[in-house]
Amino acid sequence: MCGRFTLTVDADSIQTYFPWLEDIPAQIVPRYNIAPTQPIAVVPNDGRNAVDHFVWGLIPFWAKDPSIGSRMINARAETLAEKNSYKNPFKRRRCLILADGFYEWANVTGQKTKQPFYFRMEDSAPFAFAGLWEEWHSPEGSQLKSAAIITTEPNPLVSKLHARMPVILHPEDYPLWLSMAEQRPQELQHLLTAYPAEKMVAYPVSTAVNSPTNESPENIIPLS
């Protein structure tokens, strides 16, 4: 799974790495410990090529209680076409979720506290998770947009710590993933594979990141 991630760059840097984006909110600020139910930077397939802020945790349009989203932060790539909550978004409502790293935790012999590790690109560049989004309307008429990160089998680097990893899309696959046209699952499934381990690095970081209230640049500094 992916339960915590980062986006530590500002709007100007996002524009540099995603030059095709046409609208990026200037108020984007570096985030070092993004947790479920918090706002995340999303590019939905609505044809605008724009960054929006959605809630992390997909809320199906048919849900009676939006709190269900806290249990739907990840969607398994292998079963997207089968699950009621994900099959329609998989066909029609896909998105990029902007990030530049994510955390996983390792058990430590003799200790209750797990050791967090930070995963990022070798060159520290931002990237995009494959995501699904949904629009939920309350009985009072308010609207809430939400998203989930798709996960897949891990590459050899991530598999040392976890049995799943988030799907990181290659830039050449963005146009297909963001197509406004309805897509059949078999046309997209080949995109949902593990990102090459040789292009990534991982290292232990401070246990301060274990608390989502800790939003500090020190969260991603390697332990000496």
Q: Is 218 a catalytic residue?
A: no
Query: Which amino acid is located at 101 in the chain?
Result: G
Q: What's the rounded Cα separation, in Å, for the pair 174 and 177?
A: 5
Q: Is 104 a catalytic residue?
A: yes
Select which of 2, 78, 153, 187 is catalytic: 2
Query: Which residues, 6+ apart, have CB-to-CB distance to 139 below 8 Å?
Result: none
**How many C-alpha atoms does 157 have within 13 Å on its Cβ side?**
21
Select which of 78, 104, 198, 218 is catalytic: 104
Determine contact, residues 137/64, Cβ cutoff 8 Å: no
Q: Which two tokens stand for residue 28?
A: 């984007």
What positions carry a catalytic annotation? Answer: 2, 104
